[in-house]
Amino acid sequence: MALFSTLTKPKTMETLQTLNSHRSIRKYKNLKVEQNLLNTILEAGCRASTTGNMQVYSIVVTTNEGIKEKLAPAHFNQPGVVQAPVILTFCADFNRFNKWCKLSKAEPGYDNFLSFMTAAIDALLVAQNVCVAAEDKGLGICYYGTTTYNAQKIIDTLNLPKGVVPITTVTLGYADEQPDLTDRLPLEAVVHQDTYKDYSPDDIDRIYKEKESSPLYQQFVKENNKETLAQVFTDVRYKKADNEHFSNELMKVLKNQGFL
């Protein structure tokens, strides 16, 4: 037992170090990611948990420069989408499973919102596995939340059939920058013991005090001519009108793709 503990402990420490060292990388070296390495990372990703072992997700791997250029507008032309050697689009995918059911004399009943949520969760689980595996192999990654904002553009560019919806996009490659670790709220802010404990005004003040006092975020407030950091989020970065617009667009996508 002592020998087993000694052999496994270093790897455990390496895994925790990988998780605690996560950075969003937006600048990449002009170096190709070898196919064998990419396959190793994707295989690790596909070991993620999945509902009923159905694996109702797909990963579209884009390395073609022309297609990356076409994807860029859907991600508001963020430079990393074109610069990164690999773009991974993780999709909720009931198309494959539905076809299998029909060919096997089974009638699928997955044209509903619950099924979309099931597949979306599957896609996000595999995406996070891929990201951890990539970082463990010395690569950099960045998630792009713009995927669901402009899902229809991505569907058109990647030729996604009915039953498939893009959920998130990840750029992957060798980092050409070493940004500081992004701040995180203290553990007490997100962990509830046994049952949910709602937050008092004093709790909120304490939890967000460090973030609000950060020079970086104070600069955000000043640059945007706002009174508080919260106003930067509500009035500038994630506005109500934008949220409602992109919500409506996503609902159209879900209807068109057969989930509503």
How far is it, in rounded angstroms, from Cα 186 to Cα 9?
26
* Inside any domain, residue 50: yes
Distance between CA 200 and CA 216 in Å, rounded? 26
| pLDDT value at 131 more than 70 | yes
Based on the domain organization, do 53 and 153 belong to the same domain? yes
Instruction: Mark whether 169 and 204 lie in a shared domain.
Output: no
pLDDT tens digits for range 36-66: 999 999 999 999 999 999 999 999 999 999 9
The answer on 247 and 233 residing in a single domain is: no
If asked whether residues 98 and 210 sit together in one domain, one would say no
Mean pLDDT across the chain, nearest whole number? 95
User: Which string of b and e fits 47-61 if b means at least 16 CB within 10 Å?
Assistant: ebebeeeebbbbbbe
Do the strands 57-62 and 140-144 form a parallel or antiparallel pair, or are they unpaired? unpaired
* Residue 225 included in any domain: yes
Q: What residue has token string 């919500």?
A: 247
Same domain, 42 and 156: yes
pTM, 2 dp: 0.93
Mark whether 120 and 215 lie in a shared domain: no
> 18 burial class (0-12, 13-18, 19+ CB within 10 angstroms)?
middle
Please report whether residue 206 resides in a domain: yes
> Residue 3 — pLDDT band, cuts 50, 70, 90?
very low
- Classify residue 18: in a domain, yes or no: no
**Edge-to-edge, what's the strand order for the sheet holding 86-93?**
57-62, 86-93, 164-173, 140-144
Whether 10 has a pLDDT exceeding 90, the answer reads no
Is the domain of 193 the same as that of 172?
A: no
Phi, psi of 243, deg, nearest 5: -60, -45
End-to-end CA separation in angstroms for the chain: 54
Give tens-digit pLDDT for 83-120: 999 999 999 999 999 999 999 999 999 999 999 999 99
- Which pLDDT does position 13 carry in this prediction? 63
**Same-domain pairing of 163 and 124:** yes
Does residue 75 sit in the same domain as residue 35?
A: yes
Instruction: Determine the structural domain holding residue 107 and report its residue range.
Output: 24-179+241-256
Residue 185 has pLDDT above 60, yes or no: yes
**Looking at the domain assignment, is residue 56 inside a domain?**
yes
Residue 145 and residue 215 in one domain: no
Return the pLDDT at 7. 52
Amino acid at 30: N
pLDDT attached to residue 12: 61
Q: What is the pLDDT at residue 247? A: 97
In a domain, 16, yes or no: no
Residue 1 has pLDDT above 50, yes or no: no
Tell whether 211 and 153 lie within a shared domain. no
The answer to whether residue 173 sits within a structural domain is yes
Total domains in the fold of the chain: 2
- What φ, ψ does residue 142 adopt, rounded to 5°? -150, 130
**Is residue 124 one of the residues assigned to a domain?**
yes
Handedness of CA 170, 242, 151, 163 (dihedral sign): positive
DSSP string covering 99-149, please?
Answer: HHHHHTT------SHHHHHHHHHHHHHHHHHHHHHHHHTT-EEEEETHHHH
- Same domain flag for 158 and 194: no
